[in-house]
Amino acid sequence: MKIGILTSGGDAPGLNAVIRGIVYTGIATGKCEEFVGFRNGWKGVVDGDTVPLGRHEIKGIHKQGGTILGTSRTNPFDGIGGVDRINEVMREQGIDAIVAIGGEGTLAAAKRLTDAGINIVGVPKTVDNDLDATDYTFGFDTAVQIATDAMDRLRTTGDSHGRCMIAEVMGRHVGWIALHSGMAAGAHAILIPEQKTSVDQILEWVTSAHDRGRAPLVVVAEGFSLDTMDDAHSERGLDAFGRPRLGGIGELLAPIIEERTGIETRATTLGHIQRGGTPSAYDRVLATRLGMAALDAAIAGRWGHMVGLRGTDIITVPFADALGKLKTVPQERYDEARILFG
Amino acid sequence: MKIGILTSGGDAPGLNAVIRGIVYTGIATGKCEEFVGFRNGWKGVVDGDTVPLGRHEIKGIHKQGGTILGTSRTNPFDGIGGVDRINEVMREQGIDAIVAIGGEGTLAAAKRLTDAGINIVGVPKTVDNDLDATDYTFGFDTAVQIATDAMDRLRTTGDSHGRCMIAEVMGRHVGWIALHSGMAAGAHAILIPEQKTSVDQILEWVTSAHDRGRAPLVVVAEGFSLDTMDDAHSERGLDAFGRPRLGGIGELLAPIIEERTGIETRATTLGHIQRGGTPSAYDRVLATRLGMAALDAAIAGRWGHMVGLRGTDIITVPFADALGKLKTVPQERYDEARILFG
Amino acid sequence: MKIGILTSGGDAPGLNAVIRGIVYTGIATGKCEEFVGFRNGWKGVVDGDTVPLGRHEIKGIHKQGGTILGTSRTNPFDGIGGVDRINEVMREQGIDAIVAIGGEGTLAAAKRLTDAGINIVGVPKTVDNDLDATDYTFGFDTAVQIATDAMDRLRTTGDSHGRCMIAEVMGRHVGWIALHSGMAAGAHAILIPEQKTSVDQILEWVTSAHDRGRAPLVVVAEGFSLDTMDDAHSERGLDAFGRPRLGGIGELLAPIIEERTGIETRATTLGHIQRGGTPSAYDRVLATRLGMAALDAAIAGRWGHMVGLRGTDIITVPFADALGKLKTVPQERYDEARILFG
Amino acid sequence: MKIGILTSGGDAPGLNAVIRGIVYTGIATGKCEEFVGFRNGWKGVVDGDTVPLGRHEIKGIHKQGGTILGTSRTNPFDGIGGVDRINEVMREQGIDAIVAIGGEGTLAAAKRLTDAGINIVGVPKTVDNDLDATDYTFGFDTAVQIATDAMDRLRTTGDSHGRCMIAEVMGRHVGWIALHSGMAAGAHAILIPEQKTSVDQILEWVTSAHDRGRAPLVVVAEGFSLDTMDDAHSERGLDAFGRPRLGGIGELLAPIIEERTGIETRATTLGHIQRGGTPSAYDRVLATRLGMAALDAAIAGRWGHMVGLRGTDIITVPFADALGKLKTVPQERYDEARILFG
């Protein structure tokens, strides 16, 4: 069997460990000895742009962030893509099956292609940890660690100046990174997309911490909205008052908190540093195991399935069961974290 | 209600986060407003040696390694201890219940005391991750990360000098730290107590890596034995040939590998750096959640139970179900890791 | 003798190590046994707001970022301050001398006060490393390390997506942090306030890196200006085209680069994470030594002097020689770094 | 001109940054476009074993520990080596000059070869920082940071258990790493080869810290001797009592301290983790600048010179002036550090 591997969508620490897990397992067990990588996600599939993947190419890559294959947001059904084109490329290059490593969009495309008869196994990738069919996704632990380290640093500045510090972290639709890093850093308020919150409530958390002699630390997911912001506002990039929004939600909140409480307030947007660089040991182990299981699934012909983590076990799940359900932060986890605000 | 907290046995990153989780939850919810800490484990209990624990004492401690309460290996049934003495101390100081944070030994003592009518809730602590009733224990993730970072460093030295590098990690009875850090670091051999292995097998792994142009990296748990070492040898501190053993198993293996393969070999014993210092974000979150759940269990009067992690949920388990079962690395997890040796 | 210590201006990693160095040296040598800290910089001096500083207060603080004394930007000559007020506070509290830890503004105020007869020794503090009378200031090494770590992370994302990544680092008037972190990270362009640069030149560096198959990495100091931006523009917050500027220079450059080269470009502003948190070992040693030398200078009555680093030696310099000269990046250091752009 | 580069002796973080600095400068300035690397130090020179070094080979290597060229302790005057053989290899391969990156031994060999007419420029390498002709050597800062991080970790364990913790760090002949890391970590005793010390003095430092409620932290350089150990003892691997010594000096001291003070004592030998892995930003900048200056020195024909750091400047020094003088920790630096013991 000859297997093609692709990485698609935003990069995440651990992608290379998945690739290495797949290839190493195939070669070391003799189950599959021929691998290619598609360059830049689905773009490489529709373009037939491949690179060989052997022992040499995967040496030591599990320690590197990003993806050695490159990635893109190309949709295989846009333009010249589609089932026929992909079948053609696979036939031309003698590729029997694809392991697609990507997020919701990639896996949805993979499902459509599998339904049309193409042999695909999926590996879920989302730094935001918002996929329902797996307990955790690789990259999430690294992002939480980086955000926590950054907040540990921000905090000493807040303490020294008596300031409120705001850290804006990743999380467009879900608040997992904010929840975990906020709990790890000891934040006085955690603001997540799942919980629209009023300005007054935020001010209460901030002033309560300040009154106890603490420098308030607020972590906010990039997708958080104030309760006065309707979804249209958020989508159109408007702020809480319907004005065009510059910068992220953190920079929107800072002046509001400062004006209303009199506490000097500074926002920092962590941005891309959360998703690059060396993966944590946790993510390396998880990504390696997912890659190994994906190879096994391919050998077993479990097309249309993706691998995932359940407890300490690696499982496989049909795409149909895994897609379309955003894993949001449940109310009880938010309530649990909220106890620590004050 | 007034609750006393103790930490017992070897320190682990996250102990302070557990303490903070317990106290913070009690105070912030109003469920319990009075806490004391017993100093130095069970010793403080039998001595009646306590310190107050309030908002001030727990401020920011979740970021610190070790335990602010001190710890010891004192057994509460040794010497002047025992049920009567502990009842007396609790009555004198008006303490209604104890949260005991410790390993197998601590929890076994806690069970005996609970059976005798003392109100105790347990929180499992073992850097080695060898407790059966929880998926992971806090401190383990930090230890794995430290060991992985160390091996990443050892590796560049191995590559530069063409050496075999051996890293001896913690794990007296189980190989979890070796398994995870070895997989994260890309080790060519992982040697754990659960898998007695022959010198010939180890040499095969080492030379195979060397033949592929790699600097062999071997991770060995401190409790690993060669198949020629019977348990009596190990316990009496004898080496594979029945000679008195100096240093750990890593230092025992290094000259054997060097002599038999001709590859220059160096051993490093990571030792105590694996269990101290700032806990990882993962461990801070886990420890905080376990502490919060322990307070809830105490409020609910679930005496004789310990808290644990199952998947992403915090659960409670009766001591009786949790004790006496060492959680070893299962064969399938070792087989999985072993594929990556070569 | 009784000495009062203050920290003023923006926080920097190492402030606490300076404080500990001063107090520890006084107590351990018996040269000075009484210390107080002024809270929140000069504000605490004019308000007579002091806290005792002894062995207990300084225990382990050299490892902590920020300042345990708090800081502010209060000028001692504003409002109720001035020579008479400070003399009054010192007399009332029996304080014989002040060690002032701060930047250019603080040291200028200290000079004026010394000229008026108040006993002051200075310790220079600037994360930006822009003081002429010392080879390096504490906090700089930590900031460079944090910026370098962040760029190492940004780079893997750039490589995976084929993007140009821009990192905006501290440096309002000088480019030292950009120069060192850019060289450490292997940046393809380093943009500093000392070197106004044209858009065309920047585009040439970016496209040249891109043409060699690299993901261009640009580090820009916050105070950098394009050659089309006159100083009035920069000061009034206008962009290169005279439009009101939103966000920092990094966010200004990103769309320009993307539009003109067609290379997807993302900017990250590192902001406050560069100045908080645990100081590097280098900064701990430097700050400790500066604090120790400041105590010695006070004991020796070297009022009107500040301590500094020259080679590997700690020296003292009169305020008059130290102030008014911004230490900018010299042309030869920039030329040296520039060789590595391409 | 065609230049050959070699790295010799123990590896040090920054070796690759030196190599990149040399090659990059040559290529980017057009001053020298042809480079080869000798594999495994002088061994590659006498064997004529070279690899090409161009843009591709040096891409991103400044972030990697170790040396991409490999290293060995081969002496070019042993066996088949010597002036004639090296001349022959250089002539055969058209190599005009050598840049030799190594320690005292390498530079001494380089001097002999230069005296015999071979074109060599040196770059000093010693993690121990014991070369007199440069303020600092690359690798030292990284080693100090790693040792400091490790001691920060050991300390929380010491505090929790009320133990004395000993950290044995590198430094066979000089105590620079111990001095700096001990000062950065706040050690209560720093034991270095330059200062023979009595057991009684060490016990006094340890008990004094213990009496003040601290967990004593002792840092000891591997080459330290008790005053009862004569040099013959040390060299023959005997302990303070003339018995054969097992393990390092840290393991020798631990039982002595424990027995004599009653304070539980644990030793950790940091070993090889101090010299591998990603170099610190400081070391990357220093090593890059040294490499660039070495290329310039070669272009200028400054044979028989090595580059070094003086203050913030990169200088060149004749081998004759640089060799034979071990840079030990001066008495005043030790006295300064000693104040902080207690």
Burial C126-142 (b: 16+ CB within 10 A, else e): bbbbbbbbbbbbbbbbb
CA B181, CA C11: separation in Å to the nearest integer? 37
Check if CATH label 3.50.50.60 holds for domain B2-139+278-322.
Answer: no
Grade residue A325 by pLDDT with cuts at 50, 70 and 90: confident
Residue D243, pLDDT above cutoff 90 = no
Residue B241, pLDDT above cutoff 60 = no
D21 to chain C: closest CA residue: C340
pLDDT of res. D325: 87
pLDDT of res. B235: 53
Which portions of chain C are predicted below pLDDT 50?
none
Distance from CA of A163 to the nearest CA of C (A): 11
A237 compared with B210, residue with greater pLDDT: B210
What whole-number percentage of chain D has pLDDT above 70? 95
Grade residue D232 by pLDDT with cuts at 50, 70 and 90: low
Enumerate neighbours of C (3 or more CB pairs within 8 A).
A, D
Enumerate neighbours of D (3 or more CB pairs within 8 A).
B, C
pLDDT of res. B73: 93
Which ranges in C162-198 belong to alpha helices (H)?
176-185
Q: What is the mean pLDDT of residues A127-149?
A: 96
Q: Longest C-alpha distance within chain C, in Å?
A: 69
Strands annotated E in chain D: 2-7, 34-38, 50-52, 97-102, 120-124, 164-169, 189-191, 217-221, 265-269, 305-310, 313-318
Provide residues of D within 8 Å CB-CB of chain C. Answer: 21, 24-25, 28-29, 55, 59-60, 62-63, 135-136, 141, 144-145, 147-149, 152, 180-181, 183-184, 186, 212, 214, 280-282, 284-285, 288-289, 292, 310-312, 336, 339-342
Q: What is the mean pLDDT of residues D216-232?
A: 88
Q: What is the mean pLDDT of residues A271-297?
A: 97
Other CB atoms within 10 A of residue A262 CB = 10
Q: What is the mean pLDDT of residues A81-99?
A: 96
Annotated binding site: which residue ranges of A?
Answer: 10, 73-74, 103-106, 126-128, 163, 170-172, 222, 266, 272-275
Grade residue A281 by pLDDT with cuts at 50, 70 and 90: very high
Asked about A335 being catalytic, the answer comes back as no
Q: How far is CA B77 from the centre of its chain?
A: 23
Q: Answer whether D277 sits within 8 Å of B71, measured CB to CB.
A: no
Look over chain C and give the mean of its residue pLDDT values, rounded to a whole number: 94
Q: Domain boundaries in chain A? A: 2-139+278-322, 140-274
Q: How far is CA A197 from the centre of its chain?
A: 24
Among A211-220, A232-241, B94-103, C145-154, the range scoring the smallest mean pLDDT is A232-241
What whole-number percentage of chain A has pLDDT above 70? 95
One fold for both B2-139+278-322 and B140-274? yes
Which of C137, C142, C284, C333 to mutate against chain D (most D CBs within 10 Å)?
A: C284
pLDDT of res. D238: 57
**A201 three-class SS:** helix
Q: What is the mean pLDDT of residues A103-118?
A: 96
- The pLDDT tens digits for A45-68 are 999 999 999 999 999 999 999 999
Enumerate neighbours of A (3 or more CB pairs within 8 A).
B, C
pLDDT of res. A324: 87
Grade residue D228 by pLDDT with cuts at 50, 70 and 90: confident
Active-site annotation holder among D128, D130, D141, D283? D128
- In sequence order, what DSSP letters do the residues of B284-306 get, joined into one string? HHHHHHHHHHHHHHHHTT-TTEE
Grade residue D60 by pLDDT with cuts at 50, 70 and 90: very high
Other CB atoms within 10 A of residue D280 CB = 29
* Structure tokens, A219: 């972590």
CA C280, CA D10: separation in Å to the nearest integer? 25
Packing angle, helices A331-339 and A176-185, rounded to 10? 20
pLDDT of res. C28: 94
Annotated binding site for ATP: which residue ranges of B?
Answer: 10, 73-74, 103-106
Which of A140, A280, A314 to mutate against chain B (most B CBs within 10 Å)?
A: A280
Among A283-292, B131-140, B222-231, the range scoring the smallest mean pLDDT is B222-231
Q: What is the mean pLDDT of residues A74-97?
A: 94
pLDDT of res. B228: 85
CATH code for the domain defined by D2-139+277-322:
3.40.50.450
What whole-number percentage of chain A has pLDDT above 90? 90
Grade residue B242 by pLDDT with cuts at 50, 70 and 90: low
pLDDT of res. C310: 97
- The pLDDT tens digits for A173-227 are 999 999 999 999 999 999 999 999 999 999 999 999 999 999 999 999 999 999 9
What is the value of ipTM here, to two decimals? Answer: 0.95
CA D178, CA D183: separation in Å to the nearest integer? 8
CATH entry, B140-274, from 3.40.50.1220, 3.40.50.300, 3.40.50.460, 3.30.1130.10:
3.40.50.460
**Phi/psi at A100 (5° precision):** -105, 120
pLDDT of res. C232: 56
Packing angle, helices B281-299 and B15-29, rounded to 10? 50
pLDDT of res. A239: 56
Grade residue A80 by pLDDT with cuts at 50, 70 and 90: confident
- The pLDDT tens digits for B53-63 are 999 999 999 99
Parallel, antiparallel, or unpaired for β D50-52 and D34-38?
A: antiparallel
Q: Answer whether D285 sits within 8 Å of C180, measured CB to CB.
A: yes
Q: What is the mean pLDDT of residues B264-283?
A: 96
Grade residue D247 by pLDDT with cuts at 50, 70 and 90: confident
Which of C16, C67, C157 to mutate against chain A (most A CBs within 10 Å)?
A: C157
pLDDT of res. A282: 98
Which chain C positions have a beta carbon within 8 Å of A149's beta carbon?
A: 277
Q: Answer whether B71 sits within 8 Å of D161, measured CB to CB.
A: yes
Residue C243 DSSP label = P
Q: Longest C-alpha distance within chain D, in Å?
A: 69
CA C183, CA C202: separation in Å to the nearest integer? 17
